[in-house]
Amino acid sequence: MFFYYLDLAWRSIKKTPLLSLLMVLAISIGISITITTLNVYQLMSVNPAGERSDKLIAVQLWSQGKDAWKEFNAQVTYQDAFNLRKSDLPVRQTAMFVTGLAIQTEDADLSPLLETVRVTDSDFFEMFSVPFLYGRAWDKSVDTEAAYQVVINEEMNRKLFSGENSIGKTLFLDSKPYQVVGVIKIWNPSPQYYDVTTGAFTDSAQLFVPFSLAPIEEFQSWGNNQSWKRDSINTYSDRLNSEMHWIQYWVELTDDKQRDEYAQWLTRYVEQQQLLGRFDSPEAAAQLSNVAQWLELNEVVPEDNKILVGLSALFLLVCLVNMLGLLLAKFLKRAPEVGVRRAIGASRRQIFAQHMVEVGLIGFCGGVLGLIWAWMSLSMLSARFDLENSLTNLDPSMWIIAPAIAICAALVAGTYPAWRICSTNPSVHLKSQ
Amino acid sequence: MLQIKPIINTLMRSKSGPILLLIQIILSVAIVANASFIISERIALMDRDSGTAEEEVFDFRLYAFDSDIDIESQSQRDMRAIRDLPGVIDATTTSMVPLSGGGWSSGYTIGNSEETAKDTESAAIYYGDDHMVNTLGVDLIEGRNFYETEIVTGSPDLATHAIVSKAFAKATWGDEPAIGKIMYAGDFGSQPLQVIGVVDKLQGAWVNSSYLDNSVILNVRLVNVFTKVLVRAEVGTLTQLKQAIPAVLHKDQPNRVIEGFTLISEHRKRVYRNHELMATVLSMMVVLLLLITSLGLAGMVMFNIERRTKQIGTRRALGARRRDILSLFLVENYIICIVGGIIGGLVAVQLGQQLMTFYSLPKLELIYPIMTVVGLMVLTTVAVILPARKAASISPATATRSV
């Protein structure tokens, strides 16, 4: 029966090509706008930590003074990071920031490269599920006993060592020799949830060096450095002892129980620091957020995207109302024909089903066309605005979502006209034949 | 206009069509009004002038990773070498590049005593030398530039003199002249800075900040392994200087990374990218929405005409002119448009209210819904006239044949 209805639907569409085309256009444009905005929204709001989202916890401290910021800072001070690392409650933990270093190899022909480098602890790789190609992270002992070791990524490995296994080789960062201990595969979570302070959609660093080297090598911070206090900072140790917030701190906790314990430990830490004269704001406290909460807290999905998704939903609604009107026109025009069919025995249910199949077919065509529009508009936008590829690739799920939305929307719009046509009295139309 | 009553009667008889049209117009007005408001707001944001010679000024980064380099003297040699290059108008080291999105900012303290001292609004800070004003291409409207002898070299804490933007001077001292005023970089009394000049306009690095127009230039040549350099050169010389500058600097000291080379106009494009993206997507939405609405309307009118062929034929037979038939459809359309426009305007204001509550958008200005309704009236007129002309040309004979 379904295929018979499909055949009927196709004939009917062919009979009123202009009206049908208008409908397909309307729904496809509505779908394409919705898909375009939804696609960008979805890619921005995706939680790249997956099932580890609840275990990875960002630590924030209200360490500022009374008249300073009115909210938790996304980063902590070096002093606090240093002290937090002493806790043995978390399964894993890491302090980190980004810097930039000049890279050279023993190959003198290679001109120095200036690259972003993440300064972090060995736990970083395990915590954020960084995939290794060769080797592994530096030993945990390096986190306390600094050693000149480095983890690089596949691309950097290709550039510096033409892609071979480079474990044990030496490269120079700011003219100091570092030993390569690990090569990671290309790893670029989007959003870059573990450090959103310089934008959640920037590329991950290609090199990683031990945090314990920071006070020795005096790595400059390339990230945000926020001060509430007028510390005079002239030397690197001034910086380390200052109240400047510039370090991201993450811990891994297995369950809620451990999270509570850690929260208590932090409360005690805050109290202890207060005795030392820090944390003098009445709001002094610690805040823990898992990845999902962290993305929410840092408003990783820009407001603009939310507004666009909202407006495009309304837009789709307009397209549907438009389609509803056109369908009504189209179906009612066919009333005499339906009258005849009803008179020779077609049930209302059959008439209704037949029209819904027709509507569904229009919706499907609209959905497919809409996908093509969406793909075109996304590639146009990415070319025009030179956006990150990840934001403008059509998400695979959209190949299901788009036609599904289109068909559902069309069916919703088609219900009333189909109902109208099948509920009219056949005798009215028969009379005028 | 005597036709209005029968037209309303017709509309009331077959409600569903006109009601759908009405809903569509209401929604269109609500969306288009808000979208065009956001678009024009973004365009206004992007149009703000940075006060600098954006097409002439570019920056690059210089990273001297070799610890043997004496950066202080190296930097002075570098700057001299750059200024001597053909095409270069002027150059300076800087802490920040206008519109680049990264840099330094701070508030200052002003007042007569510790008790009455207060904080100023935040301002972007440019640390640079006596070449800074000329390099940026900003307009010095009061006071003077730094003298070469006033420039200190080293840490930011050494600053003693300041050139401020007019916006900052106004926010801090109101209508009093800013020249000669003292502000403090530290707490009250610590590190006094004397204002010696005012530039007409100079923006900082962060285009989304509330203090974008507040800028301060301080008389310090920063000494750092990582140096930002601003160069002002004749338009079109960038490609050639991109080669020439690293060549001349590497000849002096090869152990350095030199990269970046971005015109301020390119920084502008990048930092406003999201605003431009938003404006583009919304414009697309507005155009398509209007297109769909008018196509839908045209489709409905076409259908109406077919359905009412007999009625139109009868009217024509009874002496109605083509013009009468045309105006019949137009008046019908205007009634729906006006009613839809009024309700749509109210919905638009409501929607704007919601957007303002939940997001950082300013309040919708009334002119937007009004203009949208007017625009929609014009558009629907076109969408109606085309099919209605066809209706008007129906000959009474064919239309009434089967009556």
Residues in chain A closer than 8 A to B61 (CB atoms): 114
Domain end among A289, A311, A338? A289
Q: Does B285 touch chain A (CB under 8 A)?
A: yes
A175 falls within a domain: yes
Last residue of a domain, one of A225, A254, A289: A289
Together in a domain, A278 and A249: yes
CB–CB of A311 and B278 under 8 A?
no
Contacts (Cβ under 8 Å, ≥6 apart) of A179: A147, A148, A149, A150, A168, A169, A170
Q: What is the 8-class DSSP label of residue A226? A: B
Q: In this complex, do B24 and A232 lie within 8 Å of one another by their Cβ atoms? A: no
DSSP string, B121-165: PPEEEEE--TTHHHHHT--EEEE-PPPGGG-EEE-GGG--EEEEE
| A325 with B299: Cβ contact below 8 A | yes
B21 — contact with chain A (CB < 8 Å)? yes
Instruction: Tell me the C-alpha distance between B173 and B167, whole Å.
Output: 10
Whether the per-residue pLDDT at A433 is higher than 50: the answer is no
Q: How far is A257 from chain B (nearest CA, A)?
A: 35
- Report CB contact under 8 Å: A102, B284: no
A318 CB neighbours in chain B (<8 A) are: 24, 27-28, 31, 289, 292-293
Q: Where are the alpha helices (DSSP H) in A242-397?
A: 256-275, 291-297, 303-333, 335-343, 348-385, 389-392
> What pLDDT sits at residue B233?
96
Interface contact B65-A308, CB threshold 8 A = no
Q: Is A433 a member of any domain? A: no
Higher local confidence (pLDDT), B242 or B15: B242
- Same domain membership, residue A398 and residue A272: no
Give the model's pLDDT for residue A50: 84
Q: What's the pLDDT at B402?
A: 59
The yes-or-no verdict on residue B271 having pLDDT over 50 is yes
Which of A289, A318, A353 terminates a domain? The answer is A289
Share of chain A above pLDDT 90, in %: 46
Q: A190 and A156 in one domain?
A: yes
Q: Could you say which of A36, A234, A315 has the minimum Cβ distance to residue B289?
A: A315
pLDDT in tens, B214-245: 999 999 999 888 899 999 999 999 999 999 99
- The pLDDT of residue A299 is above 60: yes
* A335: in domain: yes
Residues of A in contact with B274 (CB under 8 A): 302, 304
Query: Where in the sequence is the domain holding A32, given as residue range(s)?
Result: 1-47+303-428
Per residue in B300-318, pLDDT (tens digit) is 777 777 777 777 888 888 8
Chain B residue at shortest CA distance from A387: B273
Determine the pLDDT at residue B3. Answer: 64
B355: nearest CA partner in chain A: A307
Single-letter amino acid code for the residue at B345: G
CB contact under 8 A, B257 and A114: yes
Q: Which of residues 307-366 of B touch A (CB under 8 A)?
A: 307, 355, 359-361
DSSP-derived secondary structure letter, A131: P
Cβ contacts of A317 on chain B, cutoff 8 Å: 27
A429 pLDDT higher than 70:
no
Flag if A30 and B255 touch (Cβ within 8 Å): no
Asked if the model's pLDDT at residue B67 lies above 90, the reply is no
Kindly list the residues from chain A whose CB atom is less than 8 angstroms away from the CB atom of residue B16. 328, 416, 420
Closest chain B C-alpha to A175 CA, distance in angstroms? 7
Q: Is residue B93 pLDDT above 50, yes or no?
A: yes
CB contact under 8 A, A381 and B277: yes
Question: Looking at the predicted structure, is the pLDDT value of residue A430 above 70?
Answer: no
Same domain, A125 and A260: yes
Task: Write B389-394 long-range contacts (CB < 8 A, 24+).
Answer: B389/B326, B390/B302, B390/B305, B391/B305, B391/B308, B391/B309, B391/B312, B391/B325, B391/B326, B391/B329, B392/B312, B392/B322, B392/B323, B392/B325, B392/B326, B393/B322, B394/B305, B394/B309, B394/B312, B394/B313, B394/B316
- CB atoms A377 and B284 under 8 Å: yes
Q: Give the residue-averaged pLDDT of A19-45.
A: 86
- My answer on whether A336 and A397 are in the same domain is yes
- Distance from the Cα of B303 to chain A's closest Cα (Å) equals 6
**A61 in the same domain as A40:** no
B28 contacts in A (CB within 8 Å)? 318
Examine the domain organization and report whether A197 and A275 are in the same domain.
yes
In degrees to the nearest 10, what's the CA dihedral of A390, A127, A227, A201?
A: 0
For chain B, state the CA radius of gyration.
33
Residues A186 and A257 reside in one and the same domain? yes
Q: Is B99 left (phi over 0), alpha (psi -120 to 50) or beta?
A: left
B299 shares contact with chain A (CB less than 8 Å): yes
Residues of chain A with C-beta less than 8 angstroms from the C-beta of B300: 325-326, 329
Report whether pLDDT(B183) > 50.
Answer: yes
Q: Residue ranges per domain, chain B?
A: 4-47+273-401, 66-254
Please state the rounded mean pLDDT for residues A411-425.
Answer: 84
Give residue A392's pLDDT: 67
Our CA-based measurement puts residue A25 at a distance from the nearest CA of chain B, in whole angstroms, of 8
Cβ-based contacts under 8 A for chains A and B: 134
Kindly list the distances between the CA atom of residue B85 and the CA atoms of A211, B135, B231, B265, in Å, as whole numbers in the listed order: 42, 14, 11, 22
Q: 3-class SS at A134? A: strand
The Cα–Cα gap between B84 and B146 comes to 21
Contacts of B281 in chain A (CB under 8 A): 36-37, 308, 381
> Which residues in chain B have Cβ-Cβ distances shorter than 8 Å to A29?
288, 291-292
Provide the pLDDT confidence category of residue B65 given band limits of 50, 70 and 90: confident
Q: Which of B16, B24, B280 sits opposite A318 (nearest CB)?
A: B24
Domain shared by A231 and A309, yes or no: no
Q: In this structure, is residue A294 part of a structural domain?
A: no
Contact A30 B157 (CB under 8 A): no
Give me the number of domains chain A comprises.
2
Which of A20, A58, A1, A6 is closest to A334 using CA atoms? Answer: A20
Nearest to A312 among B23, B285, B306 (CB): B285
* The two structure tokens encoding residue B173: 């001292």
Residues across chain A? 433
The predicted-structure confidence for B159-172, as pLDDT tens digits, reads as follows 999 999 999 999 99
- B280, B281, B390, best to mutate vs chain A, most A CBs in 10 Å: B281
pTM of the predicted protein model: 0.84
pLDDT tens digits along A71-124? 899 999 999 999 999 999 999 999 999 999 999 988 877 778 889 999 999 999
Evaluate if residue A342 carries a pLDDT over 90: no
The two three-digit tokens of residue B205, written as one number: 């690095």
Residues of A in contact with B66 (CB under 8 A): 175
> What's the average model confidence in pLDDT over A181-207?
89
Nearest one of A16, A69, A1 to A330, comparing CA atoms: A16
| % pLDDT > 90, chain B | 50
Among partner residues A22, A102, A230, which is closest to B63 by beta-carbon distance? A102
Exposure of B39 in the CB half-sphere (CA atoms within 13 A) = 16
Beta bridge partners of A94: A250
Average model confidence (pLDDT) for chain B?
A: 88
